[in-house]
Amino acid sequence: MEEGSNPTVARVGLVLGPLAFAALLLVGPIDGLHPVGQRTLAVTAWLAIWWFTEPISSGLASLLPLALFPFLGIMGADAVARGYQRDPIFLFLGGFLVALAAERCGLHRRMAEAVLRTFGNAPRKLLFGYLAAVSFVSWWFSNTATTLLFLPSARAIADHAGTGTDASRRFGSAILLGTALAASIGGMASPIGTVPNTILVGQIGGIGFSDWMQVGIPVWFTLIGVLWLVMTFISVRIPHDLPRPAPKGNTATPFTRDEKRVAAVFLVMITLWFFREGLDFGGLRIPGWPDLGARIGVFPKDAAPMIKDGTIAIAAAVILAVLPSTNGGKLLTRTQLREAPWDVLILLGSSFTLADAFELPKNDPTSLSSWIASSLGTLTDLPIAIQLAVMALVVTFFGEFASNIACAALLVPIGIAIAKSTGADPLVYGFTITLATSCSFMLPVGTPPNALVYATGRIPLRMMLLNGVIMDIVGALVVAAVVGWVRT
């Protein structure tokens, strides 16, 4: 069993996973679901149970699709392997390596000091201010970029709090976990906060910043308050004081040369992420820098669509591996490469592979994704409040096992189609589905920020699950309530 897991739960899960798999294979055909979809559902059930109960490491459990999909005729071995090599995985790897370089030169401590100078060192007050700061930055940067930006300072605060007492460990876990969840919550506030938001904007033209924020800001404001309450009093239980209080953050030493170099690479990386696809401000559109580069001949004309966020992250990591350190060696070394969370990379790969398998057979209404999504169409006879609540809950929990981008890409068009067929406002269903895809707070694979903080090894999966299941339910209901209030 995995170190730190509950022995009894792990033993039960070790047996329950393959039993659930076998039961779903042997139960007979499920009405409306293709046999490939049923076999995919069986593998997903086995994997989900092992993720929850941890009889083996989550990374090793995530290799199940590689082992089972070819035998079950779901996907060929090469196709399965490609799922573990997607651009977001290299975005994760490159960003994490840059964060490790920031730690090596001490930049993360300076970032932590800036936060602490602003919010003080009382645990509950610091947590609230920290969640608010992270979520506000995530209005303007992707939730993944925001998590990468704050993760070094979160680790520094957790390190200072120490691991000697249960209260200190819980406070450190709250800061780290709160980084991911606050980034996802903040990403709901603006149309550029997450990729799913841009999918909805692309599906329905004419959504401006003000239109989005009428819905996004109430959702953000409510969920940040709920997250602080849940962490403080239920899932983590933050004390009033700690035996070793958080640092006061009153150090104001000059930046070292290494800190300046890493900070420059870090800021350039985030800026390139932010402006890669361009920004649309109503009548004013700022093209992305890859498009500009192609127009002026810096890049070949067909290069712009090939450049992804993962390209930028890996380029930043390579630059840091070349730049010299004043302490000898380079700013990013082989040691940092060995510290990369390879098990989490595998875990992320499994989520992309599952998302691909959910859509098989391609363009078939009996695929697993279509089978799940089609159930949303039966809601139209219910009152609108119940429709939106059920829709948000289904999308939220579906998003725990598939990337939020995949969920939005699949379900937003379906929601818009349902709205048009019934004469409803497409934005009512569109907003509900889109924002609900960002409410997957429960599992490491739910969102990239979840995976990033889980990769630190300092958040017990059971704590993430307890905190996440509450936030999943509350988040979905808040999204439904706000969308229903603003748009109907």
pLDDT tens figures, 307-354:
888 899 899 999 999 999 988 889 999 888 888 878 878 887 887 788
Query: Where does residue 177 rank: exposed (0-12), middle (13-18), buried (19+ CB within 10 A)?
Result: buried
- State the Cα–Cα distance between residues 15 and 19, nearest whole angstrom: 6
d(CA 361, CA 168): 50
Q: How far apart are CA 132 and CA 443, in angstroms?
A: 22
Contacts of residue 474, defined as CB under 8 A and 6 or more positions apart, other chains included, come to 223, 226, 230
User: Coil, strand, or helix at residue 251?
Assistant: coil
Listed residue (325, 330, 274, 291) closest to 148, CA to CA: 274
pLDDT at 472: 94
pTM given for the model: 0.70
Residue 284, classed as helix, strand or coil, is strand
pLDDT at 330: 92
Q: Work out whether the CA dihedral 201, 206, 210, 216 comes out positive or negative.
A: negative
Rounded Cα distance, 87 and 311, in Å: 8
How sure is the predictor about 487, in pLDDT bands with cuts at 50, 70 and 90?
A: confident
315 burial level (CB within 10 Å; 0-12, 13-18, 19+): middle
Q: What is the pLDDT of residue 346?
A: 87
Does pLDDT of 299 surpass 90?
Answer: no
Sort residue 439 into left (φ over 0), alpha (ψ -120 to 50) or beta.
alpha
Query: Both tokens of residue 197?
Result: 């938001």
Contact 467, 235 (CB under 8 A): yes
Strand 279-281 relative to strand 284-286: parallel, antiparallel, unpaired? antiparallel
Highest mean pLDDT among 266-275, 305-314, 337-346, 468-477: 468-477
Question: Torsion angle, CA of 452/456/457/460, rounded to 10 degrees?
Answer: -60
Q: Measure Cα distances from 136 to 25, 107, 163, 199, 437 in Å.
A: 46, 21, 29, 21, 19
CA dihedral 169, 238, 399, 66 (to 10 degrees): 10
| Contact criterion met (CB below 8 Å) for 448 and 273 | no
Cis status, amide bond into 361, omega within 30 of 0: yes
Phi-psi region of 81 (alpha: psi -120 to 50; beta: other; left: phi over 0): alpha
Average pLDDT of 36-62?
A: 88
Between 214 and 240, the more confident residue is 214
CA angle (236, 240, 246) in 5-degree steps: 85
Beta bridge partners of 281: 284
Query: Is the pLDDT at 378 greater than 60, yes or no?
Result: yes
> How large a percentage of the chain has pLDDT more than 70?
88
Q: Are 92 and 180 in contact (CB under 8 A)?
A: no
Of the candidates 451, 477, 483, the one whose C-alpha atom is nearest the C-alpha of residue 179 is 451
Q: What is the DSSP letter of 324?
A: B
A 10 A CB-CB count for 455 gives 23
Q: 25 or 247, which is more confident?
A: 25
As a whole number, the mean pLDDT across the chain is 83
Q: Is the pLDDT of residue 186 over 90?
A: yes
Better-scored residue on pLDDT, 5 or 305: 305
> Which two three-digit tokens encode residue 96?
């994490």
* Mean pLDDT, residues 65-77 taken together: 96
Q: For residue range 192-212, what is the model confidence (pLDDT) as tens digits? A: 777 788 778 777 766 766 778
Q: What is the pLDDT of residue 243?
A: 57
DSSP tag of 445: T
- The predicted structure's pLDDT at residue 226: 94
Higher pLDDT, 264 or 282: 264
Which of 52-56, 163-167, 240-244 has the lowest average pLDDT? 240-244
CA-wise closest residue to 236 among 167, 164, 156: 167
Count Cα atoms within 13 angstroms, Cβ side, for 488. 21
For residue range 407-438, list pLDDT tens digits in order: 777 778 778 777 776 677 888 998 999 999 99
Q: Residue 73: its pLDDT value, please? A: 96
Task: State the residue for tokens 């390139």.
Answer: 272
**Which range has the worst mean pLDDT, 1-5, 85-89, 237-241?**
1-5
pLDDT at residue number 363:
81
The burial of 365, by beta-carbon neighbours within 10 Å (0-12 exposed, 13-18 middle, 19 or more buried), is given as exposed
Tokens of 422: 């019934």
Report the SS3 class of residue 285.
strand
Q: What is the CA radius of gyration of the chain?
A: 22
Q: What is the pLDDT of residue 481?
A: 94
DSSP 304: G
Band of residue 459 on the pLDDT scale cut at 50, 70, 90? confident
Alpha carbon distance, N-terminus to C-terminus of the chain: 50
* 280: helix, strand or coil: strand
Phi-psi region of 230 (alpha: psi -120 to 50; beta: other; left: phi over 0): alpha
- Which pLDDT does position 67 carry in this prediction? 95
